[in-house]
Chains A and B, each alone.
Chain A
Amino acid sequence: MKKTMYEKIWDSHLVVDAAGQAPLLYVDRHLMHEVTSPQAFEGLRLSGRKVRNPHSILATMDHCVPTKNRDLPIADPIAKKQIETMAENCLANGLNLYDMKNPNNGVIHVVVPEHGFVHPGMVVVCGDSHTATHGAFGALAFGIGTSEVEHVMATQTLPQKKSKTMQVVVNGSLSKYASAKDIALAITGKIGTAGGTGYVIEYTGSAIRELTMEGRMTLCNMAIEAGARAGLVAPDEKTYEYLKGREFAPSGQNWDQALDYWKSLTSDEGAEFDTTIVLEGADIAPQVSWGTSPEQVVGVDGVVPSPESFADEGKRKACEGALAYMGLTANTKITDIPVDLVFIGSCTNGRIEDFRIAAEVAKGTKVAAGVTALAVPGSYHVKKQAEDEGLDKIFIEAGWEWRDPGCSMCLAMNGDELTKGQRSASTSNRNFEGRQGKGGRTHLVSPAMAAAAAAAGHFVDIRTL
């Protein structure tokens, strides 16, 4: 039988598949951060169970960590306790932790690929919905809850329901100013935040092949925003080139054996997907979200839609609510919307390529009067590489703040946040109400679009620069 890549990975990880119970799937890699793990460790302790395979785990601290003055104690006592608890739990269980002071520290989904910890064909989990990122390597990677974190620690498996398969084809090539972020937003706009529910998406087509590994990570990262369990891109020479020589990548004879296996993973010619969506790369304009859901997006040359433009009653009501929350009027040109704060960073767009592209736009500009601009690298390695390339100077000279790594304003747990009514251009992944601070208004964009908005003080069609 012809199989999709998802089906191949699924089949090779089935431990138990018996009638009357949920199939049990083996987990190769377990990623951790401080927010969704403490209660799992507590559960393990209370039940007298142990971590089955400590080597399968890589942990970091990212959600609550300050992005400046790291040498000072964390001011928020509850966040401080969470950070300390993470360190204690990792020490007690012999886990590899890149803590706040570690030169490898950063956002979990940026750090893990940097060290080659995820390979094609693996099953990867993390108590974090953006685990989907690692599908960029052709690994089945998905977010889980804290009870499941405990389950995986104790058993190295998870009871799972098999997903349906969706193929998203992006034909042709992207235009010069569109990016992986714009593909992700355009897909979510097209199918909705529940469009992928119950599915694993495989992204195919020439525009996907042309993406760098960083771009593929951005794309897969936001599979969850379309409701999908996971996103996948078939591994190719770019994948192998990226992995080769990294700390946890196979080497020597193991490399050759791994490579043969990885090459066998791609979906068979003619394998059937349950559903297929097709986009033309050239049609994808730089996207800007206008509402409070990642499906509420439009091209930068568009306008804020009116509730009446939606036939569906639910979407019409959602549009009304979003416009009220966002303080926007229907039919306003996107390029007329002003911004107060610009954020470049997160597990979606906090990698070296994102800062290179943004720096290219920011070079020689000045942040507009009244605008605050934050550049928050996804990891210390990204930060160092950017500094080696002189990118930090470009941002600083343009009036940006150049910070230490962390999730920062993506979910505003660490004190970096919007105040009520403030409006951001953000390279993160969610524009939910209050996500970046209570009453804050988030517009999701690519790094180039964010950098252009910082200089202009409003959104700009970067194709006209």
Chain B
Amino acid sequence: MEPYLKHESIAALMDRSNVDTDQIIPKQFLKKVERSGFGIHLFHDWRFNDDGSDNAEFELNKPAFKGAKILVAGDNFGCGSSREHAPWAIADYGFNTIISTSYADIFYNNCFKNGILAIRVSQDQLEQLMTEINANEGVRFTIDLENQQVITPAGNGFSFEIDPFRKGNLLSGLDDIGLTLKHEAKITEYEQHHKQNFPWLWA
């Protein structure tokens, strides 16, 4: 995983709530056995017309949002299926940051495994950011994870909360599994207890 660095990027807006993972990456694209190449299918059913052309009505197709790394969206983003293909598609498309009031649990976890920073903000903060994007499409926000800051040209900056463990992993780009395996001795010790206390699980 690439370390997450401070950056200034275009912020795209999806003013919708309850965007589910079936929309983020529709099921017809879940049959691949690779991790890569999902970006071209991101939001497929919304993004493309039946003849395969771009749907001009779909917000991410706006020219001003091309190249955006930050996605600002309504609440309960990523609900539904556990498919990690959703963050794979989001990252592959080019986003590394999502800003919303809330996320579905599994999706939220999946983001951080793929170098995506999912920032939780208040309803007021979200509305301010949305207003700023609507007033100036193509506006660039700065995301400073180290100092937990979102900075905007109109001065709608604020600090955000994040679990220190997730923050550390994003900043370092470290592999979760490697970190867990540092506790190998404890896992083995737990398993020995487990075998004694719950022999039927190991029969």
By a beta-carbon cutoff of 8 Å, the part of chain A in contact with chain B is: 15-16, 20-22, 24, 26, 28, 35-36, 38-39, 42-43, 47, 49, 55, 63-64, 76, 78-79, 81-82, 85, 119, 122, 127-129, 142-148, 150-151, 154-157, 159, 161, 193-194, 197-198, 227, 229, 250, 254-255, 257-258, 261, 293, 314, 317-318, 411-413, 430, 432-435, 438
Instruction: Give the residues in chain B near A435, CB-CB below 8 Å.
Output: 22, 27
Q: Which residue of A21, A38, A129, A293 contacts B165 across the interface (Cβ within 8 Å)?
A: A21
Q: Is the CB of B187 within 8 A of A227?
A: no
Q: Is the CB of B187 within 8 A of A432?
A: no
B102 within 8 A of A: yes
Shortest C-beta distance, B16 to chain A (Å), equals: 8
Q: Is the CB of B75 within 8 A of A432?
A: no
Instruction: Give the residues in chain A near B138, CB-CB below 8 Å.
Output: none
Q: Is the CB of A36 within 8 A of B84?
A: yes
A179–B28 alpha-carbon span in the complex (Å): 32
Instruction: Give the residues in chain B near A317, CB-CB below 8 Å.
Output: 17
When C-beta atoms are compared, the residue in chain A nearest to B77 turns out to be A194
Q: Is the CB of A254 within 8 A of B105?
A: no
A433–B27 alpha-carbon span in the complex (Å): 11
B81 within 8 A of A: yes
A26–B33 alpha-carbon span in the complex (Å): 27
A229–B181 alpha-carbon span in the complex (Å): 25
* Residue interface bits B96-126, CB-to-A below 8 A is 1, else 0: 0000001111100110011000000000000
Instruction: Give the residues in chain A near B109, CB-CB below 8 Å.
Output: 144-145, 148
Q: Is the CB of A193 within 8 A of B180?
A: no
When C-beta atoms are compared, the residue in chain B nearest to A196 turns out to be B105
Sample of 14 more A-B contacts, CB < 8 Å, known A81-B31, A257-B199: A15-B190, A26-B190, A39-B33, A49-B177, A81-B33, A127-B82, A129-B82, A159-B176, A250-B203, A293-B20, A314-B75, A434-B45, A435-B27, A438-B45
Q: Is the CB of A15 within 8 A of B187?
A: yes
Q: Is the CB of B180 within 8 A of A155?
A: yes
Shortest C-beta distance, A226 to chain B (Å), equals: 10
When C-beta atoms are compared, the residue in chain A nearest to B175 turns out to be A47
Q: Which residue of B87, B180, B194 contacts A24 across the interface (Cβ within 8 Å)?
A: B180
When C-beta atoms are compared, the residue in chain A nearest to B105 turns out to be A229
Q: Is the CB of A151 within 8 A of B177?
A: yes
Q: 23 A-B pairs, CB-CB below 8 angstroms? A: A15-B187, A16-B183, A22-B165, A26-B187, A26-B191, A35-B31, A145-B83, A145-B84, A145-B106, A146-B35, A147-B176, A156-B187, A156-B191, A159-B165, A197-B76, A254-B200, A254-B203, A293-B20, A411-B81, A413-B27, A432-B20, A433-B22, A435-B27
Q: Is the CB of A36 within 8 A of B82?
A: yes
Q: Is the CB of A151 within 8 A of B176?
A: yes
B51 within 8 A of A: no
Shortest C-beta distance, A410 to chain B (Å), equals: 10
Instruction: Give the residues in chain A near B22, CB-CB below 8 Å.
Output: 411, 430, 432-435
Instruction: Give the residues in chain A near B33, CB-CB below 8 Å.
Output: 38-39, 42, 81-82, 85
Q: Which residue of B32, B79, B103, B180 contacts A159 across the interface (Cβ within 8 Å)?
A: B180
Instruction: Give the residues in chain A near B102, CB-CB below 8 Å.
Output: 194, 197
Q: Is the CB of B199 within 8 A of A254?
A: yes
Instruction: Give the residues in chain A near B176, CB-CB below 8 Å.
Output: 147, 151, 159
A432–B84 alpha-carbon span in the complex (Å): 18
B164 within 8 A of A: yes
Instruction: Give the residues in chain A near B187, CB-CB below 8 Å.
Output: 15, 24, 26, 155-157
Shortest C-beta distance, B74 to chain A (Å), equals: 7
Q: Is the CB of A193 within 8 A of B106?
A: no
Segment 11-26 of B: residues with Cβ below 8 Å from A: 17-18, 20, 22-23, 26
A194–B35 alpha-carbon span in the complex (Å): 28
* Residue interface bits B147-166, CB-to-A below 8 A is 1, else 0: 00000000000000001111
A16–B179 alpha-carbon span in the complex (Å): 12
Given contacts A147-B110, A151-B176, contact A39 B186 (CB under 8 A): no
Instruction: Give the residues in chain B near A147, CB-CB below 8 Å.
Output: 84, 110, 113-114, 176
Given contacts A16-B186, A85-B33, A257-B199, contact A194 B18 (CB under 8 A): yes
Q: Is the CB of B83 within 8 A of A36?
A: yes
When C-beta atoms are compared, the residue in chain A nearest to B46 turns out to be A433
Given contacts A36-B84, A432-B20, contact A79 B113 (CB under 8 A): no
Shortest C-beta distance, B176 to chain A (Å), equals: 6
Q: Is the CB of A79 within 8 A of B180?
A: no
A143–B81 alpha-carbon span in the complex (Å): 9
Q: Is the CB of B198 within 8 A of A261?
A: yes
Q: Is the CB of A150 within 8 A of B177?
A: yes
A413–B83 alpha-carbon span in the complex (Å): 13
A24–B87 alpha-carbon span in the complex (Å): 23
Q: Is the CB of B165 within 8 A of A413?
A: no
Instruction: Give the residues in chain A near B81, CB-CB below 8 Å.
Output: 128-129, 411, 430
B2 within 8 A of A: no
Q: Which of A146, A157, A255, A318 has the most CB of B within 10 A?
A: A146
A161–B32 alpha-carbon span in the complex (Å): 30
Segment 53-110 of B: residues with Cβ below 8 Å from A: 74-76, 79-84, 87, 102-106, 109-110
B201 within 8 A of A: yes
Instruction: Give the residues in chain B near A143, CB-CB below 8 Å.
Output: 82, 106
A92–B28 alpha-carbon span in the complex (Å): 27
Q: Is the CB of A433 within 8 A of B23?
A: yes
A49–B176 alpha-carbon span in the complex (Å): 13
Instruction: Give the residues in chain A near B106, CB-CB below 8 Å.
Output: 129, 142-145
Shortest C-beta distance, B115 to chain A (Å), equals: 11
B40 within 8 A of A: no
When C-beta atoms are compared, the residue in chain A nearest to B166 turns out to be A22
